[in-house]
Amino acid sequence: MTHKLVLLPGDGIGPEVMAEVRKIIDWLSQNTQTDFDITEDDIGGAAYDRYGVPLDEGTLEKCRAADAVIMGAVGGPKWDHVDYTLRPEAGLLKLRKELDLFANLRPALVFDALIDASTLKPDIIRGLDIMIVRELTGGVYFGEPRGIEDLGNGERRGFNTQVYTTKEIRRIGRVAFELARKRGNKVCSAEKANVMESGKLWREEITKLHEEDYQDVMLTHMYADNCAMQLLRNPRQFDVIVTDNLFGDILSDEASMLTGSLGMLPSAALGAKKGQGLYEPVHGSAPDIAGQGKANPLATILSFSMALRYSLDEAALADHIEQAVQTVLNQGLRTADIMEQGCIELSTDAMGNALVKKLAEAISVV
Ligand code: IPM
Ligand code: MG
C-alpha cells in the first residue's frame, strides 16, 4: 500500500518538527508493508521567498492530488512588512479554502505523565479528553466585505464580516454530532447568539439539526465567552465542542494549555471529499525558538498519526505512534516546553529518535 503525502514544513520551527515526522515515515517505509510517496514543498513565508506567493498554484495542485497533507507552521516577523494578501497566513487560509477543508478537529487530551505540566490543578484536568470541532472555511476569516478604508479626515476604518449560511452550519454540526456518537455522546455548541445574528442562526440551525437527526446525542448551547470560562473552571464537563472559525481558533488555544503545552496538540482539517485532509499542529511557527533544537515535535507527529487514522485508513499504525508517545512521556523524556524536575530534557532531534526507537520496539519488523 502506497500513500501519497505532501509535506509542507513551512516557517520557524516547522522544518525542525517536520524532520522528525520524516524520520517516522522513513522508518515505516523501510520496516513495514506500508509505503509512502512523499513530496515536500513550501508554504507560508518560505513559499513567499521562493515563489513570491505564500501558496504556489503548483503546490496547491500537488496537495489536491495527495491522500493527505501534513503541515508544520507558517509565519514570522520576517514577513511582517508583506502585503496582507501575501502574508504567510494567507497561504494556509487559501489551502484550507481551496481544498474545502471545513471541519477542523482539535483534540485536547491530557497525558497522565504530563499532568503536572499544566498550569491547572491535577484534579481539574486528570483524564481530560475534549474534541473541539472548529468550522474552518467560513465566518469572519473569509467574510466579505472586508478591508481598511480611508475616511479622509485622518481617520481610517477597518472592517470584517462575520457570516454563516444554513449549509455551512449544518455540515459542521453533522461532523460534531457524528464524532460525539463515537465518544462521550455530548455536544456543546458555542456562539454569541446574544449579540450576533450569525450566532442566533447558528444556534437555531444546530438545534434543528439535532431535533431532526441526532436526538440520541446530548446537546447544550453556550455563549462562547462563558465556554472560555467553563473550560478553565470545569473542563471535563465537555466532550465535543462545536464552534465557528474565530471562536474555535481562540478556544482551541485555550484548551491546548489545559493539557500542559501547545507543543502537544495535533489537528486535522477534513473536507467534503472523503479521505482528503490537512494535518497540522495547533501551535505556530515559534520564531523565538526556531533553529535551536528546542521545539517539541510531538504535536506534528501526532498530526501525522491523525492523518494515518482519518485519511489513510491505517488506524493500527496510528495506535502504535500514539502508544509510543505515551511510552516516551512515561519514561520521563521531555522537550523543553514540557520539562519537569526529575525528567530528562531532549532536543527536537533526540525526541524524534526516541520515538522511532519506541516504535521499532512496538512494531514487529517485517
Ligand atoms: C491556527 C492558526 C491560524 C488560524 C493562523 C496561522 C492563520 O492560528 O491554525 O489556529 O488563525 O487559523
Ligand atoms: Mg490559532
Percent of the chain at pLDDT > 90 equals: 92
Q: Cite the active site residues.
A: 141, 192, 225, 249, 253
DSSP structure string for 154-183: S-EEEE------HHHHHHHHHHHHHHHHTT
Residue minimizing CA distance to atom 8 of ligand 1: 249
> What pLDDT is stored for residue 273 in this prediction?
78
pLDDT higher than 60, residue 163: yes
Ligand with smallest separation from the Cα of 73: 1
59 CA distance to ligand 1 middle (Å): 20
* All domains of the chain in start order, with CATH: 1-102+271-366 (3.40.718.10), 110-262 (3.40.718.10)
What grid cell was written down for 190?
Answer: 458555542
Query: Which residue of 160, 249, 303 sits with most ligand 1 atoms within 8 Å of its CB, as the best mutation to test the pocket?
Result: 249
> What pLDDT is stored for residue 117 in this prediction?
85
The vertex-80 CA angle with 77 and 86, nearest 5°, equals: 125
Q: What is the three-class DSSP state of 75?
A: coil
pLDDT tens digits for range 184-223: 999 999 999 999 999 999 999 999 999 999 999 999 999 9
Q: Would you place residue 181 in the very low, low, confident or very high pLDDT band (cuts 50, 70, 90)?
A: very high
What residues flank ion ligand 2 with Cβ within 5 A? Answer: 249
> What pLDDT is stored for residue 363 in this prediction?
86
Q: Among positive and negative, which fits the CA dihedral 49, 55, 60, 63? A: positive
**Cβ neighbours of residue 156 under 8 Å, at least 6 residues apart?**
148, 149, 150
Computed over every residue of the chain, the mean pLDDT equals 96
Ligand with smallest separation from the Cα of 106: 1
Alpha carbon distance 273, 46 (integer Å) = 28
Residue minimizing CA distance to atom 7 of ligand 1: 89
Q: Would you place residue 365 in the very low, low, confident or very high pLDDT band (cuts 50, 70, 90)?
A: low
What grid cell was written down for 208?
Answer: 434543528
Residue type, 210: H
pLDDT tens digits for range 89-121: 999 999 999 999 999 999 999 999 999 888 999
What grid cell was written down for 173?
Answer: 454540526
